[in-house]
Structure 1
Amino acid sequence: MPRRPPSRRPAPPDYGLDLFDERPPSPPRRPSRPTRPVRPPRPPQPPPDESPTEIIRLDDDYDYDDFDDYPENAEEVRAEPEYIDPDDPDDPDDDEPVGTGRRRRPLRWLVALVVLALIGGGAWYGIDAVFGYDDYQGTGESDVLIQINAGDSTGAIGQELAASGVVASAKAFVKASEDNSKVLSLQPGYYVLKTKMSGAAAAAKLTQDGSRVGVLQVRAGTQLDDITQPDGTVTPGVFSLLAKASCADLNGRSTCITAQQLRDIAARADLVALGVPDWAASVVSASTDARRIEGLVAPGVYDVKPGWTATELLSNVLRTSASRIQAAGLTGTAKFQGRTPYETLVVASLIEREAIKPDFANVAQVIYNRLGKAMRLQLDSTVNYLLDKPVVTTTDEDRNRPGPYNTYRIAGLPPTPISSPSVEAIHAAEQPTQGGYIYFVKCEKNGQSCFATTDLEHLQNITLARQRGAY
Structure 2
Amino acid sequence: MDPGADRTGPLVEPSWWSYGSTDHPDHPRAGRAPDADAHGFGREHPSAPLPPLPTGAWDRLGPRAATGDDDPTVATPRVAGRQGHDPHPDDSFLDSFPDDSFPDDRYPGADPRPWEEQTGGLDVIGANVDEPTPRRRGLRRGRRNAAAPADLPETEAMPAVAPDGPAGELPEEHPVHEEQDHDAEPVGPLTDDAIPVAPYDPRNDRQRRRRRRRPFAVALVVLVLGGIVAGIVLGGQQLLSLLDPDSRDYTGSGTGSVDVRVNQGDTLSDIAATLDGADVIASTGPFVSAAKANPDATGIQPGVYTLRLQMSGEAALQLLLDPAARQVSRVTLREGLTVTQVLARLAEDTGTPLEELQAAAADPAALGLPAYANGMLEGFLFPATYDFEPDDTAADMLGAMVARAVQALDALQIPEADRLVVVTKASIVQAEAAGAEDMAKVARVLENRLSDGMPLQLDTTVNYANGKGGITTTAADRANPSPYNTYFHPGLPPGAISNPGEDALEAVLAPAEGDWRFFVVVNPDTGETRFARTGEEHQQNVLLFQQWLRENPEG
**What residue identity is the alignment partner of 1:167?**
I
Q: Structure 1 stretch 258-267 or stretch 162-171: which is displaced more?
A: 162-171
Of 329, 336, 355, the residue aligned with 1:260 is 355
Q: CA deviation at 1:426?
A: 1.3
Of 266, 275, 280, the residue aligned with 2:368 is 275
Runs of 5+ unmatched residues, structure 2: 1-232, 241-246
Matching residue of 1:438: 517
**What residue identity is the alignment partner of 1:376?**
P
Residues 135-188 of structure 1, C-alpha deviations (whole Å, 9 max, x = no match): 2666644542422758977x886565345433335576689999x99x779662
Distance in 2 between the 1:319 and 1:208 partners? 24
Query: Does the 8 A contact of 1:189 with 1:215 survive in 2?
Result: no
- Counterparts in 2 of 1:18-417, with a 5 A limit? 134-135=249-250, 140-147=255-262, 160-169=274-283, 188-196=301-309, 198-199=311-312, 200=315, 203-204=318-319, 207=322, 209=324, 211-213=326-328, 215-226=330-341, 237=342, 239-243=343-347, 257-268=352-363, 271=365, 274-281=367-374, 285=375, 292-333=376-417, 340-355=418-433, 356-386=435-465, 388-417=467-496
Distance in 2 between the 1:144 and 1:442 partners? 52
Distance in 2 between the 1:457 and 1:451 partners? 9
Runs of 5+ unmatched residues, structure 1: 1-123, 227-236, 248-255, 286-291, 334-339
Q: CA deviation at 1:277?
A: 2.4
**What residue identity is the alignment partner of 1:352?**
Q
Secondary structure, counterpart of 2:357 in structure 1 = helix
Shift of the 456–127 alpha-carbon distance from structure 1 to 2, 3 Å rule, reads: farther
Percent pairwise identity: 31
RMSD over aligned CA atoms reads 4.1
Secondary structure, counterpart of 2:362 in structure 1 = helix
Q: CA deviation at 1:351?
A: 0.4
Distance in 1 between the 2:541 and 2:429 partners? 19
* TM-score of the superposed pair, with normalisation by structure 1: 0.54
Shift of the 459–219 alpha-carbon distance from structure 1 to 2, 3 Å rule, reads: same
Shift of the 222–215 alpha-carbon distance from structure 1 to 2, 3 Å rule, reads: same
Shift of the 206–422 alpha-carbon distance from structure 1 to 2, 3 Å rule, reads: same
Distance in 1 between the 2:462 and 2:280 partners? 53
Query: Does the 8 A contact of 2:297 with 2:317 survive in 1?
Result: no
Distance in 2 between the 1:140 and 1:389 partners? 54
Shift of the 205–398 alpha-carbon distance from structure 1 to 2, 3 Å rule, reads: same
Distance in 1 between the 2:324 and 2:382 partners? 27
**What residue identity is the alignment partner of 2:280?**
V
Q: CA deviation at 1:346?
A: 0.4
Q: CA deviation at 1:451?
A: 0.3
Shift of the 346–139 alpha-carbon distance from structure 1 to 2, 3 Å rule, reads: same
Secondary structure, counterpart of 1:443 in structure 2 = strand
Q: CA deviation at 1:467?
A: 5.8
Distance in 2 between the 1:195 and 1:387 partners? 53
**What residue identity is the alignment partner of 1:213?**
V
Shift of the 162–258 alpha-carbon distance from structure 1 to 2, 3 Å rule, reads: same
Residues 290-314 of structure 1, C-alpha deviations (whole Å, 9 max, x = no match): xx21001222344555434444443
Q: CA deviation at 1:350?
A: 0.5
Query: Does the 8 A contact of 2:462 with 2:484 survive in 1?
Result: yes
Shift of the 403–139 alpha-carbon distance from structure 1 to 2, 3 Å rule, reads: farther
Query: Does the 8 A contact of 1:193 with 1:202 survive in 2?
Result: no
Distance in 2 between the 1:367 and 1:439 partners? 9
Of 543, 546, 550, the residue aligned with 1:463 is 543
Distance in 2 between the 1:201 and 1:319 partners? 32
Q: CA deviation at 1:214?
A: 5.0
Q: CA deviation at 1:193?
A: 1.0
**What residue identity is the alignment partner of 1:188?**
Q
Distance in 1 between the 2:449 and 2:300 partners? 46
**What residue identity is the alignment partner of 1:442?**
V
Q: Structure 1 stretch 319-328 or stretch 206-215: which is displaced more?
A: 206-215
Query: Does the 8 A contact of 2:327 with 2:390 survive in 1?
Result: no
Shift of the 205–241 alpha-carbon distance from structure 1 to 2, 3 Å rule, reads: farther
Query: Does the 8 A contact of 1:136 with 1:167 survive in 2?
Result: no
Q: CA deviation at 1:449?
A: 1.4
Matching residue of 1:34: none
Say which one has the larger Rg. Answer: 2
Distance in 2 between the 1:388 and 1:168 partners? 58
Q: Structure 1 stretch 375-384 or stretch 309-318: which is displaced more?
A: 309-318
Distance in 1 between the 2:386 and 2:323 partners? 20
Distance in 1 between the 2:299 and 2:509 partners? 37
Query: Does the 8 A contact of 2:518 with 2:534 survive in 1?
Result: yes
Shift of the 325–241 alpha-carbon distance from structure 1 to 2, 3 Å rule, reads: farther
